[in-house]
Every structure is written in structure tokens, then in C-alpha cells.
Structure 1
Amino acid sequence: MPIVSQRQLVIQPHARILTLIAMAGEDTSVHAAALGRIGHPPEINVVADPRRRDDQYGLLRWLLPFFENYYAECLAGGTFPQIWVSSAGALGHLDTLADRLRFTDEDDIKRLGTLWTYAGERSPVAGQQALISATTALRAHYATGQQEAEDEHLGSLLTWIDPPAGRDIWAAVAAAELQPMAVKTDPQFDTVTLQPAVEDYNRASSAGDEPASTFHRQRIRQMLEGVIRPIHAATQRAISVLMEPRWGPNPSLDVLADQEAREFKQFMAGREEGFYLPYHDSPKAGAMKIASRERAVSNVEAGMLRHDRAAREKGAVSGSVLRVKVTDIREEKIAPRLFKYEFVLSSQQGSLHLRTGDELWTLDEPKISLRINDVGRHGSYTRIKGEVLHGKNAVKRMSPGATLDFGPEAPNWPSIGNELRQMSERLTHEPWTHGDKTPTSTPIKRPMPSNLLAMVERLV
């Protein structure tokens, strides 16, 4: 059943759907690839044996111009590319491939790995819109009768969302699960069908029998097309479900799209300027990425609480949103033409995450910020006192009885750059925690107590 009424992600109309099949036991291989746009049939390429380097690189070179042209179009249009894959497993496979391809000895293959790295590095960042897993996107909109891990099978997930008419749902789901939906083929299919065909192909190629080699290559292509086409079609179907008019607009997505466009422009500028993409980040770069991701999490949460109704209600239930009724507004004159305002609020929420000194902002207009001065539980409700920091003119016109929602401050994506510049200055000299040298020990001036445990217990 649907769990939201507003769309939870940006869907680029020019997005590319990429479906890859890897050979069993070869996690960094591409046995078959299907690439297409939303609403269009895919272009498919298959290699008979991806363990043959020339054949594998030939397939990757076939993919390169598609992505080069697509990235160039997005950069020229001031937007960002978006790649859809079937599941989290397919997303991880693409990310692994990007790392592997960047360090080959072929310049064009390195270029493909570099382009894929943009999507791969963005994938763990909250609010990113560059690399989308169809199963993750659907789970953000629907709840099913399955466990979360079972929802990673795109076929069964779509069956729950849109079950076939007149058929038992459990039988339909069981049938859907028989079709692979990630990057690996079925083990029985590998053993009985695919492996013998690959062996026949290699035997014919080693013997120089070109007609037989061509025949077996075509057999393998037909076999893998039967696997990759349903995966690609299911991804298309997932996008069509998410593009239905039932999902209302979500203003917070506009901000995320603008941020993604800035990130993409910055990434491409770095490549044009020749900056190197390392396999492992330095301690400084790693610390800056962690800080950036943490800020992204808070920004996405703050934006969703303001514009997404489901996120707001979840926050009210969990206690991250303070939903209160204004019981009193106190005015105190502290200087000529200078007043201090204090809110007295009451909330019937059962679980609140509040501490004295917390600063909260209204999630709707007017913009008012509040510093919590006192929190007390009185029977079934919580009584809160707080000093108004911003929006005093709005408070002056407000009457007791109003209902307000408070939460974190509005997202400020450009501030990430300022924070990273400050971190860069602070990390000019590597801290001892990230180096090989440990600081010298500081001698303890006071004598060690005879019973350390008893001393600690006395402190409690």
C-alpha cells in the first residue's frame, strides 16, 4: 500500500536506464549490457566470454560514447545526469566497476570508469539524485507484505504493488522470484545452459573455427537477452509507477535537483582541470567527505520536514518534530523599543527529543526560532518555555491557541562549501589521530588510588 502521497525523488525525463549482467564468479565483469531512455527500447550488447579482455573492453568501449554524450548534454543544459538500475545489488556492481575501470591501462576505459565514478560516489549521499535503484525508490513510496531484504527483488516488489488480477498473490510473487532481477543469472541456468555454451564458444575459437564460433556467440547472445530484457523492462515499469499523477509535487525536490546540478558541474570541472581521483581518500579528504555527508543528511531531513507531509507526521510521532499549542505569550521590555518574548507551549506528544538550550524553527510560515529554556512533564502533556530569537514581529501579532510545528533550521546547501573550507584550513596540519606518531604521554601528578573502582562508584 502507498505510504506517502508526494513523490520522494526527482525523475529526470532524460534519465538513462542501465542494466548489466555479470558472469558468475566474475564480479567485475560485464557479460551483457542494456542501455536505454525512459519509454524507449534498450540497445543491447553481449560478449560471449567477458574473461577475454579484448571482448570485455569492446563492450565497454561500446558504452563509452553513450555516457560521454549524455554527460555533455547535461553539463551544457545546466542539469545533471541520472542513471537508473534495478536494485541495490546492481548499484553496488556499477560502483565497483567504476573503481576497477579507473585503474586500467586503457585511456578510454579509464574515461568510462571516471564518468561512472560520479554516480558511484554520489550514491551513498543523502538526497542524491544521480544513481537511483528502482527497488529503493519504490520502497520509499510503498510498503509490501515482504521483509525489507525481499523487497530488493524488483519483480516480486512490482507484483506486490500491482498484483495480477484473478491470481493468488503468493503464487504470483513466487513466480516473479524465479526471474533474476539483479546482476547475476540463475545458478541452474548457468550450469545447464550458459556454461556449456561458453565452453563451446571457447573451444571453437581456440580451434580457429570461425563459423562455429559465430554460431555459439549468437547462442549466448540470445540466452542473455532473455535474461536482461525482463530486468530492463521491470526497471522501466518501476519508473512508470513512480511517474503516475497520483504522486503530488514535493517542493523539497527542487532544492535537491539544484544541489545535484552543482555537484555534477563541480565534478566535471575537476576532471577538466586534471584532478586525480584516488582509489583511497587521504585522511583529510575522508574527513571532509564525512562532514559533507553528515550535513547532507540534516539538510535533507530539514527540507522534507517542511515540504513532505508524510515526513512531517513521522517526525511528530518519533518526536523529532515538536507539535505544540501556544498557551501564553509573555512580553518583557528590556530596553527602550526593545522587547523580549517568551512562548509557553504545551504538547501531548508521547516522545520528544528536547533539551534545555535547543534551538528550533517553525516548519511553516511565519519563520520563528525558539531557544528552549525549560521542559517539564505534567500528566499527559509536556509544558515548554522558550525564548523567541527570530520572528518577534510575527509573535507580537500572534494570539494564544495557535498550533505550531517546530523542527531543525531550514536547509542551507551552500553552507557546506563554507564548512569544508574551514575544515581544510584546520586540517592543514595532520592531527596525531591520523598519523604514525603518537603524542608524548603526560605524567600524572596525583597518585593513583588504591581502589579505582570504588573511587569511580563514589563519583556516581
Structure 2
Amino acid sequence: MSLIATLARLEAVATGRAQPAATVRHRRLSDRPLVFVPLTTAGETGAPLGALVGTDRDAPRLLVVPQPRDRDQRFAFLAELADVVLPHLDSFAEAVETAERTDTDPETGKRVKVEVDLCVDAPQIVVPSRAGLDLVRLLGRSMRFRRTAEQEPETPYPAPPRVPLLGRWLTHYGERSRVPGSSLLLALTDVLSRHWATGQSTVEDQHLGALLAWIDPPRGESGAEAAARAERERDAAGQLLCPPAGPATDPAFDNKLLAPAIERYDRARTALAAAEDALRAEDLLAALTAAERDIRELVESRTRPTWDAVWRGLDLLRALPEGGHVEERWTRDRWSFTAHRDRITAGEPPQPRRDDAVTAANKLAGREREQARLEAQEALDDPLVMAARRLAGEAFAGEVTEVVMAYSEGRRPSPRPLVTVRTEDRPHLGERAKVYRALNGKAQTAEFAGYEGAPEDGVLVLRIMDKMGRGKEPEPGSLPGKGDAVCFTLFEHEQRGGAKLPDPEQTPWTHGGPPGEPVAEIPDAVTEEDVL
């Protein structure tokens, strides 16, 4: 945690209100996000109990599994979820624009530019908290290998046709959420805590109600008081007034309300199955319908407060202006969405359970590169973030006091002007260290030439190295002038690619290769826990 973040948390404690950790919004917010508020049972990992899902804050779609241990009901829930999510994804897949992409020519091996289709926009999914991200990945992993009756007529417990397709999309979104700066799948608590610092721990920030209480407390109440009330206050029946932000449920709800309701549902279903009299069966069907309705009301009572809290948090985020580099990162999300759409259209198999060594290394390197790029871009977009880098000695700001023209040595001397900067910051500069400043959307490189006077005086001499044109004299606007305020960073603004990895066929034996013939993925075996 940076010094700025620590100070912001201390100030939040002192003032009783969350303090801004950013002056701009560093994540993309879609005009029509798909909000997904899941609820799972406490006794079985990943067993869905219900969900609220949709794009209309006033009319969410309620999905319920009356008996979570019933495999057929769980598949029906997933199929109903697919009926909501897949049309939303498909609505973004048709509108495309022509874009250029650098690719490798298979004949010559050279890098060439080709024109391809790029989706104009991409669908965004928002879940309440980080636990929702884990559930999306778990659902994707459990669904994408399911066999349908069309694929294997003899398969036991066939899944509805749309379930494996939804699993592939959820897997893609879950993987994309691991890429720093991506906005395809957002956990609202992570986004809010990135933009506001509260007076509680980062673990407590995962409670959406408590987090919102710090950011926007009721009038006349401090954030700490409102957060404590959101976490602990219960009604006369002993139920939390602000339920957890899913997918976990409160034990008091499980024991006092949910378990008896499911037991009534099971008894009614068993009695209906054993009924032999038509009139008796009609009464039992009414009892079963009433029991199912009770469970639906219970699920809605736990998910609706979280649903409203998610939209309230989105409203708070929309009040912040969007950062300058957010659109660039969203374009990479659009490329990711378009590429996965093309893979599905081409009939490629689902994502494997485990990546091979080369793919895993590429993913890790890509995420490290995106993390460094995100940190650099957030600092360039946000003075508050840049202040943290300046305190850490990774950047400095000051005023230009002198510009002296100088040239490099050689047959064709190039301009290498010396710029003197007075700063109160204390950057960690070594001999001939490279520093960078933003110039017309690009990074201009300078070299630290030394101090003018004693180092504690804070007068630095920098040698500008590039972005001055091809002429003998620097182009107008390419150099700072005397009296200009400048900000230089010790970190690069764009990250370089790493060493090229071998093809999967050339993977050394120490990393599991070379791979043999591709093996088709085998569906998960049916266990005793899968059968009611």
C-alpha cells in the first residue's frame, strides 16, 4: 500500500467518510451493463440457489433453484441463465467496424498489417464482489464441457444445448477478469475500493453494503457507524437488513428460513409424486406451488438489496470523469471479445482445463505486462496517482529554469538539448538514468545528466534524447520552455514485449513437451453428489 493510500485511510477514519483515491474513473462502464447477483447454497460449493440478472435496474430477472441438490433443476437454472445472458452477448456480436491488425504472413513469416472486423462495442458483466468473479469462473468450468443430447444421445443427464455455450463465454470472461485493467467482467467492490479509500480493511471492503456506507453515508451518520449497521443490524426475525453481497448467505437465513422452506418443498414434491387420487393431487400441486413461491420470495429478499446496491455503486462511479487511457484498454477488451466470438463461430473446441506450458507462460507474461502498463497509464491520467509515484521516488515534477541547446558527437550531430528542472521531489536517479514525459500521447525520453549544485538543492539537468523531429533543430513544441511545469517519470509509459517463446510443438521435455496428439476433453464423471 502506498503512502498516499495509507494517509487516505487515516483521513477516512478521522473524518468518518471515504476519501478519494483517484480523481478520474480508471475503468470503463458500459451504458448497458449486465448485472449478475448470484446466490449459492452454503452446503455445496457452486450449487446455485438463485440469482437476479438483467440490464434494467427496475426489472431484473429472478432465477431460483427450489432444490439445489436436484441436478435437473440446476440445469434448468443454467439454461434459464443462458436465455438471459446469451442474447445480450449476441446483441454486441453483429455490429462491427474495419480495423487494422498486425499479423504474421504464413508464407513469408513477415509481420504485415491486415484488415479485420472488430466489434464496435462489447458487453460488460458486473458482479457485486470478488467472490462473484470466482463463481463466474466456477460456473464456466462446470458448464463448458457438458454434453448435450445432440452431441451424445446416450449421455446421462444431458445438458440443455445453450449451457455449454454459456460456459465457454463465462470462462472467457473469467479469464479476462484476471487481466489488469480489463473491464469486461467487473467486481463492483474492487472498482469502488480502487477509487475511494475507506477506514476499514481491504477484506471488509468486499462487503458491498459496508463499502457504500463509507463512500456515501446517510446524513448525520459517520461511515464507520453506517458500515457497522450494514454489517450487523438485523430485523425482528433475526435476519440481516443488508444481506451479504453474494454468493454466500447468512447462516441465520439458512437455518431459520431457507432450510425449513426447502424441507416443505421436498415434502410437497414427495407427496405429489406418491398421490394416486386426482383431487388429492390437485391439492398437493397447489401446496407444491406455494412452497416454491415461498423459496422464490426468500431468494428475492436476499438478492434485491444487493441488486439495488450495485446500481447505486455504478451511479457513484459514473459521476467520475473517465480517464484518458480507459478507451484504449477498452479497445483491447473489444479485440478479446471479437476473437472469442470468432473462435466459437469457427467451431473450435472449448478452452482446456489446463493450459500447456507455452500458453501459460504467455498468459503470465501478458498479465505482468498489462499490470505495468495499467500502473503507468493510471499515473499519467490521474494527478493523485502520480503523487503516490512521486512520493515513492518514481517520478518528479517541477519547473523548467533553463534550456540550453546541445548536440551529440559524430558525423551527423543530432540535437540533445539540456533542460534544467527545479523540483521539490526526491527521485531515485542513478547515473545516466532514463526518464520519460508525456508528449502528444507519446513518451519522450530524457537522460539524467547530473545535479546543478548540491543534490539537496533539487536542481536536475536532463538531456532530451528523442521526439524532436528529424531536422537539425528541434521541432516547435517538442521541448519545454523556460517557466513550464513538467513531470517526468522513471518508469516507461509503454511496456516492451518479452522474449519470444517456442511454439507448443517445440516445448522442451522439462515443461511437459513436446505434446502428442491432441486429446479430446472428457466430460466430468457423474458422482454420487450429482444425483439426488
Change (3 A) 1:398 1:43: closer
Match of 1:273 in 2: 346
Matched, 1:283 2:357: yes
Cα deviation code 1:105-129 (max 9, x no counterpart) = 3342211111111210111111101
- 2:54–2:84 CA contact under 8 A, matched in 1: no
Match of 1:2 in 2: 20
Give 1:355 shift. Answer: 4.0
Change (3 A) 1:288 1:337: closer
Match of 2:511 in 1: 434
- 1:28–1:100 CA contact under 8 A, matched in 2: no
Identity %: 26
Q: TM-score, normalised by structure 2?
A: 0.74
Moved more, 158-167 or 392-401: 392-401
- 1:99–1:113 CA contact under 8 A, matched in 2: yes
Match of 1:405 in 2: 487
Letter in 1 for 2:393: G
- 1:67–1:115 CA contact under 8 A, matched in 2: no
Give the unaligned 5+ runs of structure 1.
438-460
The alignment's C-alpha RMSD in Å is 2.8
Match of 1:71 in 2: 89
Change (3 A) 1:27 1:358: farther
Moved more, 315-324 or 70-79: 315-324
1:148 to 186, 202, 206: 202
Moved more, 426-435 or 180-189: 426-435
Matched, 1:218 2:293: yes
Matched, 1:200 2:200: no
C-alpha distance in 1, partners of 2:314/2:249? 23
Change (3 A) 1:24 1:340: same
**1:54-453 superposed matches below 5 A:** 54-77=72-95, 78-105=120-147, 106=159, 107-167=161-221, 169-177=223-231, 178=240, 179-207=243-271, 208=273, 209-244=284-319, 247-276=320-349, 277-326=351-400, 327=402, 329=404, 331-332=406-407, 334-335=409-410, 338-341=413-416, 343=418, 345=420, 348=423, 351-356=426-431, 358-365=433-440, 368-372=444-448, 378-381=454-457, 386-392=462-468, 393-394=474-475, 398-400=480-482, 402-407=484-489, 408-411=491-494, 423-425=500-502, 428-431=505-508, 433-435=510-512
Cα deviation code 1:313-372 (max 9, x no counterpart) = 222222222335545535135346623415364564555344445433212448521244
| SS of residue paired to 1:205 | helix
Cα deviation code 1:415-446 (max 9, x no counterpart) = 86xx6xx7354665224542489xxxxxxxxx
Structure in which a larger fraction of residues adopt helix = 1
- 1:135–1:154 CA contact under 8 A, matched in 2: yes
Return the structure number with greater relative CO, CA threshold 8 A, min gap 6: 2
Deviating runs (4+, > 6 A) in structure 1?
Answer: none
Aligned residues between the structures: 429
| SS of residue paired to 2:296 | helix
| SS of residue paired to 2:47 | coil
Give the unaligned 5+ runs of structure 2.
1-18, 96-119, 148-158, 232-239, 274-283, 469-473, 515-532
- 2:396–2:423 CA contact under 8 A, matched in 1: no
C-alpha distance in 1, partners of 2:185/2:419? 46
Change (3 A) 1:113 1:427: closer
| SS of residue paired to 2:506 | coil
| SS of residue paired to 2:195 | coil
Letter in 2 for 1:380: E
Cα deviation code 1:157-178 (max 9, x no counterpart) = 1112221223465443222113
| SS of residue paired to 1:334 | coil
Letter in 2 for 1:369: T
